[in-house]
Amino acid sequence: MTAPGSTAPVLVPQVLDRCRALVRPALAEAVGRLHPWVGEMAAYALGWCEVGGAPAAAPGGKGVRQALAVLGARAAGAPERAGVAAAVAVELVHTFSLLHDDIMDGDASRRRRPAVWKAYGTGPAVLAGDALFALAVRTLAGEPGGPAGVRALSAALDDLVRGQADDLLFAARPWTGPRRVRPEEYRVMAEHKTGALLGCAAALGAVLGGAAPGTAAVLDRAGRHLGVAFQIVDDVLGIWGDPSVTGKPVHGDLRERKRTFPVLAALDSPAAGRLTALLETGAEPGRAAALIEEAGGRRAALAEAHRHLTAVEDALSGAPLETTAAGELRSLLDFLVRRDL
């Protein structure tokens, strides 16, 4: 993979490793300031330890948001370390949101381990999420450039909650008729639930790196489009992906009767009638998947994802960004979305 404007190929896993290594001490120091019991839950959620505190056997998350923050600072012409506080804050907020979302969605596992609420109990998991949230705000509030950063983070948090509320409410709506969920509503939900924090990560890094407001706004917009594309690709993989690669059960989203983009797009087609009965029961997900594809749901989803990736590219190419960082950002975004398609 070669980023435009650079001669060497960008190896995304190495970029992620480098950013994680840069952020880890500050993130560990922040988590270390928590109440010890809450700190253990946070470390478990971050993939650093098992229940009881022993070092973790499995690796944690990729650290996409912290990388975006670090690269955002550098894209603004600052050294990467200028984005570290932003990286810590967004990683804490991301961990908080996974923790609480798993409770709300009743998801019992996360990254092939029991979710925090399964491992420690619902009440403690609520508390651990709250603690991570408070710590994120506190981390940013103490920084130079913090006020603008806190405003950006709290706006993203607002969107995050809004997206999760819509997502929860979608499940209670009918598959057909005027109250059905439209693809456009889904797009807004995905932008809030996934895009807002990705955009905030890159923008926050840029803000702490001293970027002009216009540059931060461009990075925010790029991250939001990336979030929508990422969510739609995730939906496609959830129906047609290879479970040995995605780590998700075959047709899991169809069995759980989730409103995903390919499904909503198919329901906007003449095939909606036959599909609805299959979707309502969640039975015969293989047949439902075939019908969704036949109705153009997969094609429409990939076209929509592509539109958002083009918007990411348009946003980035119009901004005065430092060349190497911009190349790494592009490669990272590409890596995230193209994955296993």
Which residue ranges make up the site for a second copy (CB under 8 A)? 35, 37-38, 100, 103-106, 122-124, 126-127, 129-131, 133-135, 137-138, 141-142, 146-147, 150-151, 153-155, 157-158, 160-162, 164-166, 168-169
Shorter beta-carbon distance to a second copy: residue 29 or 158? 158
By CB atoms closer than 10 A (0-12, 13-18, 19+), residue 293 is middle
**Closer CB to a second copy, 161 or 302, in the complex:** 161
156 vs 333 by CB, closer to a second copy: 156
172 three-class SS: coil
Closest separation between CB of residue 215 and a second copy, Å? 21
Name the residue nearer to a second copy (CB basis): 169 or 277: 169
- CB count in 10 Å sphere of residue 219: 31
Nearer to a second copy, 41 or 73 (CB): 41
Residues found in the chain: 341
**Closest CB 14 distance from a second copy, rounded Å:** 35
Nearer to a second copy by Cβ, of 53 and 147: the residue is 147
Amino acid identity of residue 205, one-letter, is G
The rounded Cα 292 to chain-centroid distance in angstroms is 25
Distances (CA, A) of 131 to 36, 71, 79, 270: 11, 27, 29, 49
Residue 242 beta carbon to a second copy: minimum distance, rounded to whole angstroms: 31
Nearest approach in angstroms of CB 127 to a second copy is: 6
- Residue 108 corresponds to which tokens in the numbers above? 């019992």
CB of 147 to a second copy, least distance (A): 4
Q: What phi and psi, each to the nearest 5 degrees, are found at residue 9?
A: -70, 145
- Alpha-carbon distance values, 324 to 69, 71, 72, 127, 240 (Å): 15, 9, 11, 40, 35
Please state the φ and ψ torsions of residue 112, each to the nearest 5 degrees. Answer: 60, 20
Q: How many CA atoms lie within 13 A of 285 on its CB side?
A: 14
Closest contact distance (angstroms) between CB of 150 and a second copy is 5
User: Are the C-beta atoms of 99 and 125 separated by less than 8 Å?
Assistant: yes
33 versus 287: smaller Cβ distance to a second copy:
33
Instruction: Compute the least distance from the CB of residue 341 to a second copy, in Å.
Output: 32
